[in-house]
Amino acid sequence: MRVVRLTSARMVERGGGHILTLASMGSILGLAGEASYAASKHGLLGYLKSVELELRGTGVALSAVLPAVVDTELARGTATAGVPMLSAADVADAVMLSLRNPKLERTVPSYAGAMVRLANVLPLGIRNALNDRMVPDNVKDADRSVRAAYEAKYVA
């Protein structure tokens, strides 16, 4: 938030610019077992939505790239459920597209955002059933043997 505030002020002074952030699909959906992570990502996107309104007419654009699960050390041993495991190149492609064509929310894969929005208008029981099939509970269902090295290094 501090970086966006300070950077946007300088961009307004010079008449334009583009701030791009990386967040997560967790910005637009709940993640069982990952409430704190999801809250931080929801908070970032909510902040950017408000700042975008405040910057209207200044020439400063905001973009948030929201990838699903990316093949990183953090994700090893977790599931992807409804979308394929992404590569760093998939995220880089979305970043480059956002730089060429600013858009506040760019989900990776692109169809995932539409799926989440569609699910949000469904009755709660259907939405929960769909969520159970499409969004993994990576705390409960993670492969602990694959995650052991990561968790030994980072999880207190």
Give alpha helix (H) positions in the chain.
2-14, 35-54, 88-100, 111-120, 124-134, 144-154
For the chain, what are the domain ranges? 2-154
Spell out the per-residue pLDDT of the chain, length 156, in tens.
999 999 999 999 999 999 999 999 999 988 888 889 899 999 999 999 999 999 999 999 999 999 998 998 888 888 777 788 899 999 999 999 999 999 999 999 999 899 888 888 999 999 888 888 778 777 777 788 888 888 888 876
Could you tell me which CATH class the domain 2-154 is placed in?
alpha beta
By CB atoms closer than 10 A (0-12, 13-18, 19+), residue 105 is middle
Q: What is the pLDDT of residues 71-112, one digit of tens each?
A: 988 888 887 777 888 999 999 999 999 999 999 999 999 998
pLDDT at 156: 67
91 in helix, strand or coil? Answer: helix
Residues classed as catalytic = 37
